[in-house]
Structure 1
Amino acid sequence: MGRKEDIIETAMKLFAEKGYHATSMQEIAERSGVAKGSIYNYFKSEEELAVSIFRYHYEVLFRQLKQIEADPALTARERLRRQLTVQIQLFDEHKELVQMQLGEQAVKVSHEVQHLVFRIRAHTLHWYRRAIEDIYGEQVRPVSFDCATMLNGMLKEYLIYLAVDRKPLLPEKLAPFLLDRLDAIVASLLDGKAGLLDETVMADYIAAATQERSQWKERAISCLERMAALRPVEDDILRSLRLLKEELEKGETARRFMVEALLLYLAKYSLPLYNELKEAIERYFY
């Protein structure tokens, strides 16, 4: 673990124990084993550190979810089961994160943290909703927001038992248990019972979940345009850059396997801006 990650882990524990406003940068520095002046080389303020805590752990989570998503051998149901298991395990390993989110810390830290937490919630709901539609088909789409919300609510309560109350719950048992309950919820809502949440009611969540993805797509396209403008560039590289740009511009219908194949092809040329392009594409698809 690097020094920056070590500071994040230490700060998260202190915020969970004492609360955000009762914790000083001096305490974080002392517990981390660094000089107070040195900690500002990594984080300019306590607020920036709090933002980094949420961003760091959710990037780890969504990266792992993406790896499971990319496994073609898994059924939609098995994919969600494994993703839920990973999510539960991660929160079990970092119980302080659950305490931070559920306590006063997430509410009173700052506007930036509140905004980030909202975006994370929106992204998580979008992920659940998409997974539910993959499992149960197009028929569930009109009630998928309700199903995703209830799945999220069930998981949240069990995470409290696990991370806050220290109940001995096994992630590998909890995930399939939640999926079985989801079956009953979906069956009930498909039995003629209308849901409460639709795309109009949830417009702010949809915007939050899709806006960031759109920004990463635009960044990737910008990288491709700048890479194509470099000289000299071989014809094969230019052709691949053009095909990759065309595929990304398809938006939701972009073929992920094609994007990844073109990205892999370009990797062997050690092109300027390649790492920036790769990061933008990975963030767009996760």
Structure 2
Amino acid sequence: MMRKKDVEKEKHILVTSMHLFSAKSVNQISMQEIADECGVSKGSLYMYFKSKEDLLLQILKYFFHNMEGQILVVESDHNLSNMEKFKKGLTIKMNHYVKNQEFYKLQSKDLSGYLNNIIYQYFREQNTIQLKWFKKYLIKIYGQKIELYAADGAFLLAAIIRHYMELIFWKHFSLNVDKIVDYALTQLEFIIKGMNEKSMSPIMNESLWSLYLEEDTTKKKHPLKLLNKMKHHLEQEGIPSEQKEEAKASINIIEQELTSIQPRKVILKGMLHNLATIDSLKEYHQILQESLMVDR
């Protein structure tokens, strides 16, 4: 089991390396330079990360995970409307990129060399997640009547935001993120309502949408949401108190692992094994296992 100081050291390496990658592209940095900057030996660095590419991937996962965590907090606020949640979520996303723009600017230049490898695929996956998130909220905000145009709306919103972000990244314009979000969503509202009023045929029908996203037929659920459902289910079912407490403890440990920098599969497998003993959780257990991609 990784001790607390090891987790902290790993986080230190990730954050320090991120600043180094903000000054130089990944191709210009050696593992020895990273080790020196982080104040660890090269051997110790390889104990945490097997290569520069692995380190860069874990940096991306760490910062995207933090951003997603902030958005989940907003989405769980029942006092906010769907539009307010969407605006706050977009603002969090844009501020994340603005805050870390030097890092993304430098590393984006190397993406052409990452075709077909794990880092390129990770960026692709994040783009897919974002487009699905856009589409989901457009339907939540405007209702089923615009569902026909939601995929096109997601593409348009992504394009609008990208062009404003380019002004900040590459032209060094000092733009207010809150104003960009309000303006982008206002533009999009006019476009979607206009398409709906004119009964236009969408470009991105379901077939093209699925083809673009390369969707799997398997519907994957976010593990943290599944864990919340499992906890709620435990309270509703007549499960013996001792068994219920053990299940809650296992769920809490899985949550802690998922919010750590690098979740340990051996811990996840052990906790999943504990939860498998509760018959009423079997359906959730199977979906959670698939979501975590942990073998039986």
Gap regions ≥5 residues in structure 1: 229-234, 242-265
Q: Does 1:134 align with 2:140?
A: yes
Name the CA shift for 1:97/1:126 in 2 (closer, same or farther; >3 Å).
Answer: farther
Deviations 1:210-240 (A, max 9, x none): 85725849x96xx99xxx9xxxxxx943699
Name the CA shift for 1:170/1:83 in 2 (closer, same or farther; >3 Å).
Answer: same
Gap regions ≥5 residues in structure 2: 1-6, 259-267, 269-287, 292-296
The TM-score normalised by the length of structure 2 is 0.71
Secondary structure of the residue aligned to 2:18 is helix
The TM-score normalised by the length of structure 1 is 0.73
Following TM superposition, by how much is the alpha carbon of 1:273 offset from its aligned partner in structure 2, in angstroms? 5.4
Identical columns (%): 22
Which residue is equivalent to 1:202?
209
What letter is aligned with 2:144? E
Contact 2:82 2:141 in 1 (8 A): yes
Contact 2:139 2:146 in 1 (8 A): yes
Which residue of 62, 75, 86 corresponds with 2:81? 75
- Structure 1 Cα separation of the partners of residues 18 and 69 of structure 2: 20
Contact 2:152 2:203 in 1 (8 A): yes
Which has the higher mean CA deviation after the structures are superposed, 204-213 or 62-71? Answer: 204-213
Name the CA shift for 1:132/1:6 in 2 (closer, same or farther; >3 Å).
Answer: same
- For these two proteins, the number of residue pairs brought into alignment is 246
Which residue is equivalent to 1:8?
14
Contact 1:76 1:131 in 2 (8 A): yes
Contact 1:199 1:206 in 2 (8 A): no
Which residue is equivalent to 1:237?
239
Name the CA shift for 1:123/1:39 in 2 (closer, same or farther; >3 Å).
Answer: same
- Structure 1 Cα separation of the partners of residues 60 and 215 of structure 2: 16
Which has the higher mean CA deviation after the structures are superposed, 202-211 or 50-59? Answer: 202-211
Secondary structure of the residue aligned to 2:206 is coil
What letter is aligned with 1:107? S
Q: Does 1:54 align with 2:60?
A: yes
Which residue is equivalent to 1:276?
254
Give the alignment's Cα RMSD to 1 decimal. 3.5
Which residue is equivalent to 1:188?
194
Contact 2:32 2:42 in 1 (8 A): yes
Contact 2:24 2:106 in 1 (8 A): no
Following TM superposition, by how much is the alpha carbon of 1:33 offset from its aligned partner in structure 2, in angstroms? 2.6
Deviations 1:233-273 (A, max 9, x none): xx9436999xxxxxxxxxxxxxxxxxxxxxxxx56875345
Name the CA shift for 1:131/1:70 in 2 (closer, same or farther; >3 Å).
Answer: same
- Structure 1 Cα separation of the partners of residues 73 and 217 of structure 2: 20
- Structure 2 Cα separation of the partners of residues 210 and 16 of structure 1: 38
Contact 1:11 1:28 in 2 (8 A): yes
